[in-house]
Structure 1
Amino acid sequence: MPAASSCTACSCLISPTGSSPTPDGEYVPPHDEEAAQRLFTQLIRVPLGAAAPARRMAHRAELKQEQWRIAQRLATARLLVTGRDAEGTETVELTHEALISGWGRLAAWAANDRSFLVWREALRHDMDRWEHGGRAPELLPTTVALAGAQQWLSERGDELSEAERRYLEAGRARRRSRTRRHRARFSVLGLVLVRIPSATAPGTR
């Protein structure tokens, strides 16, 4: 029922002792703020075409050790929930999607990171299409897509998974290969033109 759901979401924003109306200062102290923001960037996504962000399950392998430590503490505080997937891999996700808008600090992080989240969601969509398409070369990132990715790789490449970085690198490798082939064709054409017999030139007959 809607009322019960709302109460459940609100209860996530109250400390276990009931004394604090917000988890900001209690659960994310200043010295953990940067790592916590990077953690939550992995726990939210902006679905393609959607206006609002949604929660996302992250695997432990996607997180740095410091981020996992914070995740465990926040799970104890009932803001996050940890578990294992069907393969036995440790996972973590937000306890409730209402936290994204109900927790001021997380809402601000989501708003500030929106451009990155939208780009990363598109990257993951394209990578999935490549994977399900048998890794066809024509489904690798285009030159335009690689140019757009360069900024995020420089600024936030450490927030991409190993698979995502491999996908982008495969696209760069294909672009380099195509560039070399084009250069080779022009070189061959140049040699052919140079070797045209001078007898074919006007006035040589």
Structure 2
Amino acid sequence: MVTIINTTEDEPMLAVVRSTVELAWADVGAEVTDPEVARLCAEAQQHVLAGRWLDMAALMLASVDLLLLATRLSDKAAADLECSLTVICNLVTKAGSEDEALEIARLICAKLTHQPGEKPTLRIKVLFSLYNLLPSLSGKALVYRKALELAAAGKTADCVVPTFKNIDAFVAYWGIGKPEQRDLFLAVTRILKDQKGMTKEYFKFLNKYLATFDGS
């Protein structure tokens, strides 16, 4: 027997599962959709009751998969998708440890960086939301790096280039070592290389990249 959860704190997650499954299966008859919605909602409730947030993230990400890959969405569906992804990102704040939060973040990053050509701007926006929610500095560094990868692959450099002026502050804040800095600066130079009017910035970060080899 499924226990019904009445707490408003957890209702958004269950609503996301229900709404995204209904949207994804909108073209299928109710005889197929209704049992699937009921099954996934029951599974989601059990994850919430048991505090299995990593499993909950996996289930919710699976429920938005078809919407992420849809070539066309109405404005309302697109807004619902963004809202759903934001709720999923919020799961990192429920995790029982930084390690669990990082695992959830990795799961979200893997989903959002898969097939980056579909809705890349939305995906990057969601990654930045995830960045702000994560308590772990190493997790923040990981998510930012994934945002750069997504921007490069999805040809949406304009979403991340404005953040490059803060790179030095980010590096100091995250406390990452030279190997991580090297990867970061290389990713930035690859993005800037193809940007018109940013030759100066390109060479600036190229020099930063080369400097990480000093004393290695």
**TM-score, normalization: structure 2?**
0.27
> Which structure carries more relative contact order (alpha carbon 8 Å, separation 6+)?
1
**TM-score, normalization: structure 1?**
0.28
- Answer with 1 or 2: which has the greater Rg: 1
Structure with the larger strand share? 1
